């Protein structure tokens, strides 16, 4: 089979690896606009459950990925200078660039061709030239745009803004920090992903953003200001920019996931708010599901139908949970009057997927403290 993949992110690379591993006679070429060492952002997180899926799909890359991991089991909620830790939530973090390097090496070792520094403009010619064209070209997918009539994307640009920084302050666990100033309410999502660095994503509502005057600030002034908001948490460390810019989260869905010999995967197909930390996981699990479909039938149309049938319910479920989580952060202002432990409880149960009983099982001490605090209030 001749396969053209647009986009050498986690979805495109991993799909190429799995297909080539299943059948070395496939001719697979990945087109990537960036170079092998360019990347945006800092680290990404995986849940414990993802790892079992990655091991089952390709043991070699799984071994390399997990060797680089920073692992933890706590979510920390910081509010009014008080940290509340909730244990029993298994996560691991890795530098995005390191993850990509591992996948690039594995793909090339298997004989996948990767053309770096190649931006695809003539998508239709590439489509005609293969049996299967995989659009793994990310959240702003040009393939999705070109074939909008066939794929029928549904795009929802949300009002909150976020900016993705790094910092050398180490956050041991997924740390959700809330800070208020005269402009409004800020939330930071942070976690350590290497021995020296943490991801530090800051989110705020449009009112806060306007009040702070970010539209007038330079790219040097913004991290200074944001670093000031979180100075008590950063312990003297600066926020590190990697061409970091304020962005509005784009919620992506598509009515049709494929047509003829074209299929969307990863962020091009769907997004889930970063507060549930599963974009990379979903992208790689799409690759697994699509490769599995081709194991069952070599006929492209049947495999693509099978992919949609098996994968759509899983994605819809994640997107529903992520939507609740995203809305919670969009309305964080409403919860800021709560005490730290009450805030931690509503935050942990925000998606409707984790309840009182789950928390009690995962971390009985947290629930004991919560009950003590809420009894005192009552």
**Given the rule CB under 6 A, which residues bind ligand FAD?**
6-12, 31-34, 44-45, 119-120, 136-138, 142, 162, 164, 201, 266-267, 274, 277-281, 283
Please give the Cα distance from 290 to 163 (Å, whole number). Answer: 32
Nearest-approach distance from CB 325 to ligand FAD, in angstroms: 13
Alpha carbons within 13 angstroms on the beta-carbon side of residue 176 total: 25
Nearest-approach distance from CB 229 to ligand FAD, in angstroms: 17
Please give the Cα distance from 223 to 302 (Å, whole number). Answer: 50
Which residue, 138 or 184, is less far from ligand FAD as judged by CB? 138
Nearest-approach distance from CB 376 to ligand FAD, in angstroms: 36
Q: Which two tokens stand for residue 309?
A: 């049938």
Please give the Cα distance from 240 to 118 (Å, whole number). Answer: 28
Q: Which residue carries 């074209």 as its tokens? A: 262
Which residue, 315 or 341, is less far from ligand FAD as judged by CB? 315
Which residue, 8 or 184, is less far from ligand FAD as judged by CB? 8
Which residue, 166 or 184, is less far from ligand FAD as judged by CB? 166
Phi, psi of 43 (to 5 degrees): -115, 165
> Could you give the C-alpha distances from 309 to 46, 256, 272, 318, in angstroms and in order?
25, 11, 19, 16
Nearest-approach distance from CB 62 to ligand FAD, in angstroms: 16
Nearest-approach distance from CB 160 to ligand FAD, in angstroms: 12
Nearest-approach distance from CB 216 to ligand FAD, in angstroms: 23
Which residues pair with residue 342 across a beta bridge? none
CA angle, corner 41, sides to 39 and 42, nearest 5?
105
Grouping H, G, I as helix, E, B as strand and the rest as coil, residue 275 is: helix
Which residue, 144 or 341, is less far from ligand FAD as judged by CB? 144
Which residue, 298 or 314, is less far from ligand FAD as judged by CB? 314
């Amino acid at each position: 089979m001749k396969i053209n993949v647009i986009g050498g992110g986690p979805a495109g690379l991993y799909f190429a690896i799995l297909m080539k591993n299943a059948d070395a006679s496939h001719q697979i070429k990945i087109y990537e606009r960036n170079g092998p060492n360019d990347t945006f952002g800092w680290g990404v997180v995986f849940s414990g459950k993802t790892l079992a899926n990655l091991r089952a799909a390709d043991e070699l890359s799984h071994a390399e990925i997990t060797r680089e991991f920073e692992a933890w089991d706590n979510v920390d909620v910081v509010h009014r200078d008080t940290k509340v830790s909730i244990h029993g939530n298994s996560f691991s973090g890795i530098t995005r660039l390191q993850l990509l390097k591992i996948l690039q090496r594995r793909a090339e070792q298997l004989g996948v061709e990767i053309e770096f520094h190649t931006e695809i403009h003539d998508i239709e010619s590439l489509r005609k030239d293969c049996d299967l064209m995989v659009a793994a070209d990310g959240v702003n997918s040009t393939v999705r745009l070109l074939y909008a009539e066939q794929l029928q994307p549904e795009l929802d640009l949300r009002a909150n803004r976020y900016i993705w920084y790094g910092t050398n302050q180490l956050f041991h666990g997924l740390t959700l920090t809330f800070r208020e100033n005269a402009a409004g309410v800020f939330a930071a999502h942070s976690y350590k992903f290497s021995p020296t660095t943490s991801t530090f994503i800051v989110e705020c509502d449009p009112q806060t953003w306007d009040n702070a005057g970010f539209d007038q600030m330079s790219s040097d002034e913004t991290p200074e200001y944001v670093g000031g908001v979180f100075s008590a948490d950063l312990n003297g460390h600066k926020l590190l920019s990697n061409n970091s810019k304020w962005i509005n989260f784009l919620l992506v869905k598509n009515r049709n996931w494929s047509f003829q010999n074209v299929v969307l995967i990863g962020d091009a197909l769907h997004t889930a708010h970063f507060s549930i930390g599963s974009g990379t996981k979903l992208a790689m699990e799409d690759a697994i599901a699509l490769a599995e479909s081709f194991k069952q039938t070599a006929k492209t149309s049947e495999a693509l139908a099978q992919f949609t049938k098996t994968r759509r319910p899983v994605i819809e479920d994640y997107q529903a949970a992520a939507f609740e989580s995203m809305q919670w952060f969009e309305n964080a202002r409403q919860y800021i009057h709560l005490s730290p432990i009450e805030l931690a409880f509503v935050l942990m149960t925000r998606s409707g997927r984790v309840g009182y009983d789950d928390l009690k099982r995962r971390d009985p001490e947290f629930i004991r403290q919560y009950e003590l605090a809420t009894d005192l209030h009552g």
